[in-house]
Copies of this chain bind each other. A is one copy, B any other.
């Protein structure tokens, strides 16, 4: 590895510390000699770094009695203390709030979901989030002070500061400084992001788009939204509005899903996962009107997805959102995209289902902490 001459001793210490921590995190436990080999650092440097990381609580010596008995004195072994901090991924949706709690190694230690009413006002919705967090921490036995970062996903256009600039789906959300409101409840950074953007990050982390650095996640719902990764990084757009394709139907002959999926002249309300699954089931059973309704809905969805695919040309499109029963949408969507796009992408169903947004929020929180722990650039 590159050795830098020490014009900035504190920077050098940070680099050595990050490199050592990185090596420890990638293994169960390592001796000082193994750490020297992995990092290229000298024994006195490794000893000093391990001592400092131990003081910070990030590294611990492994109990020497844990291994099998050996001749002579066994070499000391050290491990990364994943339990030294926790991350929280939250989703504040239209009809539910959800939380995922994990340790510094990214291992999930608790999840929780609470229903909220579609019409719930902003203050009450925030109250539901706070109650959910308190409950999740208590059930998982994690003290609030142990949280290192919180990620949160919600519908709408989110400013760089975490304020909701525009959101039609959640009452009272537009103009709410969500980041500032939530930061009162935590002593660690709170990162707010659009829900579809976080779902894209989630599916790329451990879902249907692992290894695909160019991907689009489509959150099928009343008004479809999308998040995309370009070169493995979230593409927010200049004003944080990238992927808000829901407005596209205003320009064409497409209408809203409540009418499209209805088999009568009356719009289907409330149109939620259950209602969508009902139409799909009836279509699968051969009901002619449900089949027609499904065709109309797939046409609208294909049009929105085609717009994204033609603009961005991703490797993979992951479809999520109305997760229950979406299986039936996949084949007709693939067929339409193959006909309309010059290069049809792989189309996959969400693998994270309803947890995609919260897991993406968790990954964002983890990224934030890892940048602090493992960053070697200033």
Contacts and interface: CB of A to CB of B under 8 A. Distances in A.
A66 interface: no
A254 to B, nearest CB: 8
A248 interface: yes
A249 to B, nearest CB: 10
Copies in the complex: 2
A180 interface: no
B307 A311 contact: yes
Contact of A313 (B3, B230, B237): B237
A157 to B, nearest CB: 6
Nearest to A165: B343
A71 to B, nearest CB: 40
- Size range of the chain A interface in the assembly: 35 or more
A243 B310 contact: yes
Contacts of A236: 313
A166 to B, nearest CB: 6
Majority SS of interface residues in chain A?
loop
A38 interface: no
A5 interface: yes
Given A214-B238, A311-B245, A303 B226 contact: no
A324 to B, nearest CB: 27
Contacts of A272: none
Nearest to A302: B251
Interface string A235-248: 11111111111011
A310 B306 CA distance: 12
Interface in A212-235: 214, 226, 228, 230, 235
A314 interface: yes
B315 A238 contact: yes
A345 interface: yes
Interface of A: 2-5, 7, 157, 166, 214, 226, 228, 230, 235-245, 247-248, 250-254, 299, 302-303, 306-308, 310-315, 340-343, 345
